[in-house]
Amino acid sequence: MALNFSPVIAGTMKWGKWGAHFSTTAYQKMIDQCIEAGATTFDHADIYGNYSTEAEFGEALKENPSIRNQVQLITKCGICMAVPSRPGNQIKHYNTSKEYIIESAERSLKNLHTDFIDLLLIHRPDALMDPFEIAEAFSQLKNAGKVLHFGVSNFNVSQTNLLRSCFPVEVNQVEISILHTDPIYNGVLDQCIKDQILPQSWSPLGGGILNDLAVDERSRRIMAVAEILGEKYAAGFDQILLAWLMKHPAGIIPILGTTKAARIKSAILAKSIDMSREEWYMLLRAATGHEVP
């Protein structure tokens, strides 16, 4: 089954205890509004809300099981947090052992009230990760039909290649924005194009730093150009900056960590903005503060 995600992904990190503290009704409403807007893919991680957000989201799905056929669910594992809900963890650390990956996936399936996860990612590179062991876990989950696709998050090129030597990596979820352009130059997006790995961008708008009240010089430069382009395309600055990401040939899909459905709807419209190459470089110049070499 081919990868099939919406043009913008709804990130759930702030929907629960780490942000809006949604009730089950609020989760249901937000899910419905995202689907209506065209954002049918939802991004999770087992740790969100100190290991509680998946289950809260799952309660909303449980109330209306038919929604599962309309959405794609992403989750991540491998980070072990020292929080009350995990009393066995003395310090924050990583675990990408076969047993832990399978255990985490099984728990996510239960929390989300689903028979399968569309995409499972290793959340962070683990200095002790064994690619053969990870491949064994992925293969077992895939063969059981419990996970359809697999990938990584925050991996560099060599780390991704290490895992690719044992198992196909289909997605790399990394920080990419006009404020964080490293993946454009460090080989991550080059690898995505070459090896047909789908890049997903977390914090695609710079973590909310860019706004009409931007105070530092770099942000003011970016916002000035975004305002000019926004007038041309009748778009908001956030739509312009998302369109800048989507222009890249790697096919970047932004993950919006918002709790406002209106922002998801607005972000979807960014896909229709086809800025020119010169306009794309105008924004890059604003970000770097100098002309290209």
Closest-CA residue to 252 (of 181, 186, 160): 181
Torsions phi, psi of 254, nearest 5? Answer: -80, 145
Number of helical (H) and strand (E) elements in the chain, helices listed first: 12, 10
Residue 178 and residue 198: Cα distance in Å, rounded?
19
Q: How far is CA 264 from the centre of its chain?
A: 14
Q: 66 Cβ partners below 8 Å, 6+ apart?
A: none
Question: In the annotation, is 48 catalytic?
Answer: yes
Residue 28 and residue 62: Cα distance in Å, rounded?
10
Beta strands in the chain (DSSP E): 9-11, 41-43, 72-77, 79-80, 93-94, 117-122, 147-153, 171-175, 198-202, 253-256
DSSP state of 177: B
Q: Which of 27, 48, 51, 94 is catalytic?
A: 48
Collapsing DSSP states into helix, strand and coil, what is residue 197? Answer: coil
Residue 285 and residue 292: Cα distance in Å, rounded?
7
Catalytically active residues, by annotation: 48
